[in-house]
Amino acid sequence: MGFALPVCLFFLVYAGLILVYRRSWNAIPVFEPKTGAHRTSITVLIPARNEERNIVDCLASLAGQSYPRDRFEVIVLDDHSSDGTARAVGSFAGDLRLKCIRMAEIAQPSATIAYKKLAIETGVKTAWGELIVTTDADCHFHPDWLLTIAAFYEEHDAKFIAAPVRIGSEGRAAPGLLEVFQTLDFITLQGITGASVHSRTHSLCNGANLAYAASAFEEAGGFRDIDSIPSGDDLFLMHKIACLYPDKVFYLKSLCATVTTAPVLEWREFIHQRVRWASKADRYEDKRIFAVLLLVYIVNLLLLVTLAAAFFDRRWGWLFLILLALKTVVEYPFVRDVAGFFGQRRLMAYFPLLQPMHIVYTIVIGWMGKFGSYDWKDRKIKK
């Protein structure tokens, strides 16, 4: 049982980290935009691949923005879609300053450049706005989304803004296991994102809801030196801008600035999505993120090892139950606070029940992110 001491030490460090995250999340002020006209010109970039089913609803949501029509434009970057994405954009009849760039018609300077990064760089070069806002084609927005982002940008002279993303499926009756599991997991990630950015512990964000000054993108060199990495068009860029402007990177905590995206409907798609996210872990320039991810992975792995050891010595079984209870008790208040902000606290009833499943999920996804491959948008990506 000498191995029990380092196991417990790892858990104490992990518990301390979660407590710090909770305190930092709750310390973020909820932003309320001041009334008055906003001068910022905005370009909304939407990289889209095979999004014929979603893009019209996304554009309709943007057409409902309260921000003045003459102060923002929308550019859809059709990333070699094999469906009618570009056709759907072309036939959209809403009140938007809208254009669609078909990436298949643009020469790719190098086969090593990731498709999405090239699409975003193309959009930035074409952009009219001083503030670039990126989102995904399956997202929906509060009517004051752009207004809130513009107000925050102007008030804080921000160079990079990470904003909340919420998984939601309003209109459906009872959520299934996959939806509950991914929503709780996503709530946790959003809480860590907000807490880490606000406390400047490390850089985290989600490409479905980002804003950055076009000038900062150019000063950082865009995606230069990171353009061969398939994923990471959000976090790697954030780190580059943070190196130039460490005090001008913010998390915008506001329900009006929150983007809503639909849950993934199939387990296979969900696994590939999470493997894609995990695949960039060892490429982070911000080594603090890697240290946190490694700690999380080790803690979950130790739990599984402890459970396996219980088959040979029941004392390990008691240790496993104690540590599982400790992990749940420490994490629960943090996730509950974040879920409360997103109006999803009702899902916390499932949180303790899904802990064993989440432990296995963390280990498997972490391993596959390092050594496996994944499919995304009909493209197979190898590590």
The helix (run of H) or strand (run of E) holding residue 251 is: strand 249-251
Q: Which fold has domain 31-164+209-265?
A: Spore Coat Polysaccharide Biosynthesis Protein SpsA; Chain A (3.90.550)
Strand partners, 100: 76
The CA-CA-CA angle for residues 151, 152, 156, to 5°, reads 120
Buried b (16+ CB within 10 A) or exposed e, 235-251: bbbbbbbbeebeebbbb
| Sequence-ordered list of residues with C-beta below 8 angstroms from that of 200, at least 6 positions apart, any chain | 246, 249
Cβ atoms 113, 158 nearer than 8 A: no
Name the residue among 339, 340, 124 with its Cα closest to residue 241.
Answer: 124
- Domain range list for the chain: 4-24+287-382, 31-164+209-265
- The count of other CB atoms within 10 Å of the CB of residue 183 is 21
Q: Are strands 210-213 and 131-134 parallel, antiparallel or unpaired?
A: antiparallel
The token duo for 25 is 């999340």
Phi-psi region of 220 (alpha: psi -120 to 50; beta: other; left: phi over 0): alpha
Could you write out the DSSP letters of every residue in 205-244? Answer: --TTSEEEEHHHHHHTTTTTTTTTSSS-TTHHHHHHHHHH
Residue by residue, pLDDT tens for the chain (383 residues) are 557 778 888 899 999 999 999 999 999 999 998 877 678 999 999 999 999 999 999 999 999 999 999 999 999 999 989 889 999 999 998 889 999 999 888 766 655 567 788 899 999 999 999 999 999 999 999 999 999 999 999 999 999 999 999 998 665 567 789 999 999 999 999 999 999 999 998 888 999 999 999 999 999 998 887 766 766 678 889 999 999 999 999 999 999 999 999 898 889 888 988 887 777 766 666 778 888 888 999 999 999 989 888 888 888 888 889 899 999 999 999 999 999 999 999 999 999 999 999 999 999 888 887 766 656 666 565 55
What pTM was estimated for this model as a whole? Answer: 0.90
Strand partners, 249: 160
